[in-house]
Copies of this chain bind each other. A is one copy, B any other.
């Protein structure tokens, strides 16, 4: 069953790619189920499942008795944002914390519809199963585990994480891994290991606000390099920034970037790693959405192309398995020792029962089955929200079409200030993440990030209609 699930997803992915890059154009008819089945060498049921998925994603639509047609590009789907204008990036002192903290407060209220949330829908995770595993693990736990699990962390868990890298063809061993209190701590430890106050650090623009907050806290200056909404950071602009400034590090999300959802193609990742290596600049690679791909395979991280040990790869189980457990990790390459010690002297170790439970869960199997179901559900929810953007937002609104993760980035037409929209929406019980949260400059005023990871139920639909109404009124 796991097998056929994977096959139909692979097919759906290929077709979605063909649609996205224009090989299959709007209004075009898809091959019949019989044709596709023969051509691909898969069962008719696999094709049916793939078509159902694409339909749920809003990419194709069935017409009575005549088959499936591509809807992409029609009125129901908003166009993608334009690539960024090439401006030369400048370094900037960071001061975003207040607006971010206010925003975070608002999404903690359960009665608020969480379009602005950074967190995945907790209902998507096997919390009960994890609880069972934790319960049986904790009862067998050797008390000395508390000492054994000190940084770099639980050996069994590091082995399980290393295994997943190895399956993807990466030579990461348990001894390369430091377990952390979530990816956020991993990223902060990596940043602390390679910077000194006053240094400059390159980030994307727009970028994850927590990166800006970390820079702010450590007294670092940000150099924001524009990112392409589909393919990530602009390498030419990055090259100029590297030549002009002497950055201490570069902090990027290479796959399903928050907030854009952009995915750097593999050749671009390879080029990125080579470029940074020429300048001797470490890359802090935030890869927390790595497992949430809608395609056939996990996209390789930049770390896969790292021959110098300069890429500090950070991952987490918070978005893929166990939100709230606070278990993440870093593979800090040549900075391993600094990061492991840094961890020891800032928080000693990661919670022992959480480490042990996740290690035991991974060992038992079932993680990949859970992930397939999770990805499927997220890709369906993306289609639902994308269609709603097309239907409810004004013409001229643009939205990214991420191939993974659970964020849309929307550009609104005209002079709309999404900070004002945020306040109005919140008064109506709806949260959004306004664009200016994602930059240390006053940029992205007309943009917002939407979380499509929560259930698309009547409440969400009504809230989205209301949000659309507020935007129309502001136009």
Interface of A with B (CB < 8 Å)? 97, 101, 104, 107-108, 110, 117, 119, 122-123, 125, 127-128, 130-132, 134-136, 138-139, 141, 143-150, 181-182, 184-185, 188, 192, 196-197, 210, 213-214, 217, 219, 323-327, 341-342, 344-354, 357
24 contacts between A and B (CB under 8 A): A104-B150, A104-B344, A122-B143, A122-B144, A122-B147, A131-B135, A131-B353, A134-B134, A135-B135, A135-B136, A143-B323, A145-B324, A146-B324, A147-B324, A181-B351, A185-B347, A210-B345, A217-B342, A217-B346, A324-B349, A324-B352, A324-B353, A353-B353, A353-B354
Q: Which residues of B contact A132 (CB under 8 A)?
A: 139
Chain A facing B: main interface SS: helix
Nearest CB of chain B from residue A181's CB, rounded to whole Å: 5
Interface pair A219/B192, CB less than 8 Å apart: no
Interface pair B217/A150, CB less than 8 Å apart: no
Max chain B Cβ within 10 angstroms of own Cβ: one of A146, A341, A349, A353 = A353
Interface pair B347/A184, CB less than 8 Å apart: yes
Interface pair A325/B341, CB less than 8 Å apart: no
In the A-B complex, the 4 residue pairs with the smallest Cβ-Cβ separation, listed nearest first, are A146-B324, A135-B135, A122-B143, A324-B352
Q: Which residues of B contact A143 (CB under 8 A)?
A: 122-123, 125, 127, 323
Q: How far is the CA of A149 from the CA of B122 in the complex (A)?
A: 13
- Copies of this chain in its oligomeric complex: 2
Contact of A351 among B147, B148, B184, B324 (CB under 8 A): B324
Q: How far is the CA of A391 from the CA of B136 in the complex (A)?
A: 46
Q: Which residues of B contact A147 (CB under 8 A)?
A: 107-108, 110, 117, 119, 122, 324
Interface pair A326/B352, CB less than 8 Å apart: yes
Q: How far is the CA of A422 from the CA of B327 in the complex (A)?
A: 35
Name A128's closest neighbour in chain B (CB-CB): B139
Interface pair B347/A325, CB less than 8 Å apart: no
Name A209's closest neighbour in chain B (CB-CB): B345
Name A183's closest neighbour in chain B (CB-CB): B348
Contact of A219 among B150, B181, B197 (CB under 8 A): B197
Interface pair A144/B345, CB less than 8 Å apart: no
Max chain B Cβ within 10 angstroms of own Cβ: one of A107, A196, A354 = A354
Nearest CB of chain B from residue A350's CB, rounded to whole Å: 7
Contact of A138 among B134, B323, B341 (CB under 8 A): B134
Q: Which residues of B contact A145 (CB under 8 A)?
A: 122, 324
Q: Which residues of B contact A213 (CB under 8 A)?
A: 345
Q: Which residues of B contact A192 (CB under 8 A)?
A: 217
Interface pair A344/B122, CB less than 8 Å apart: no
Nearest CB of chain B from residue A109's CB, rounded to whole Å: 9
Given A181-B181, A325-B351, 12 other A-B residues pairs in contact with their CB atoms under 8 A: A108-B147, A127-B141, A134-B134, A134-B138, A145-B324, A184-B345, A184-B346, A185-B346, A217-B345, A217-B346, A351-B353, A351-B354
Contact of A144 among B110, B219, B347 (CB under 8 A): B110
Q: How far is the CA of A97 from the CA of B341 in the complex (A)?
A: 9
Q: How far is the CA of A150 from the CA of B103 in the complex (A)?
A: 14
Q: Which residues of B contact A324 (CB under 8 A)?
A: 145-147, 149, 349, 351-353
Interface pair A122/B139, CB less than 8 Å apart: no
Q: How far is the CA of A97 from the CA of B340 in the complex (A)?
A: 12
Q: Which residues of B contact A214 (CB under 8 A)?
A: 345-346
Q: Which residues of B contact A345 (CB under 8 A)?
A: 97, 184, 210, 213-214, 217
Q: Which residues of B contact A123 (CB under 8 A)?
A: 143
Q: How far is the CA of A272 from the CA of B371 in the complex (A)?
A: 56
Nearest CB of chain B from residue A450's CB, rounded to whole Å: 18
Name A101's closest neighbour in chain B (CB-CB): B341
Q: How far is the CA of A147 from the CA of B130 in the complex (A)?
A: 17
Known: A108-B147, A197-B197, A353-B325. Contact between A131 and B122, CB under 8 A?
no
Q: How far is the CA of A104 from the CA of B353 in the complex (A)?
A: 22
Q: How far is the CA of A326 from the CA of B347 in the complex (A)?
A: 8
Q: How far is the CA of A468 from the CA of B33 in the complex (A)?
A: 84
Interface pair B138/A108, CB less than 8 Å apart: no
Q: How far is the CA of A49 from the CA of B146 in the complex (A)?
A: 33
Q: Which residues of B contact A348 (CB under 8 A)?
A: 182, 184, 326
Name A184's closest neighbour in chain B (CB-CB): B348
Nearest CB of chain B from residue A48's CB, rounded to whole Å: 32
Name A122's closest neighbour in chain B (CB-CB): B143
Nearest CB of chain B from residue A330's CB, rounded to whole Å: 13
Interface pair A108/B150, CB less than 8 Å apart: yes
